[in-house]
A = this chain, B = another copy of it.
C-alpha cells in the first residue's frame, strides 16, 4: 500500500498517515490481521520522523484499528472499532458543516450524495468478502 504525504498540507503529517491507513483498511488494501511495517521502517520509507509514525500508530491503536503484538509487531485489528457516542456526535457535526458549506457553494444534494455513495460502494466491493469483522 502506497502512502503519500503532502508536507505542505495544513493537516499534520501524523493525521494524514492515520487517515490513509484507515482508508487503506476500508478499501481492502490492508486486510484484517495484516502486519504493518515497523515504525522505523515506515518512517524511513516516507521520509518522516519516527515519532510521527509512532503517533499515528498509537492513535489508531487507541481507536481500535490496530493492535500491537510483542512478537508480531503492529497489525490491523481483527475487529473494527464500534462507533461510540462521541464519534457519532462528531460525525454529525462534521457532516453538518461540510454539507452546509457545499450547499452554499451550490453543490446539489444529488451530487453530494452520489459522491458519498460512490466511496461506500468502493469499500463494499473490495471489503465485503472479508465480512467486515462483525
Contacts and interface: CB of A to CB of B under 8 A. Distances in A.
A116 interface: yes
Given A62-B62, A97-B23, A104-B25, A71 B117 contact: no
Given A8-B68, A65-B104, A105-B82, A116 B87 contact: no
A115 B124 CA distance: 19
A64 to B, nearest CB: 9
A98 B103 contact: no
A19 interface: yes
Contacts of A134: 106
A23 B120 contact: no
Contacts of A9: 70
A134 B23 CA distance: 34
A91 interface: yes
B105 A80 contact: yes
Given A7-B71, A23-B97, A99-B116, 4 more contacts: A26-B101, A106-B132, A109-B120, A116-B116
Which 5 A-B pairs have CB atoms at the shortest separation, nearest pair first?
A26-B100, A109-B120, A83-B105, A23-B100, A99-B119
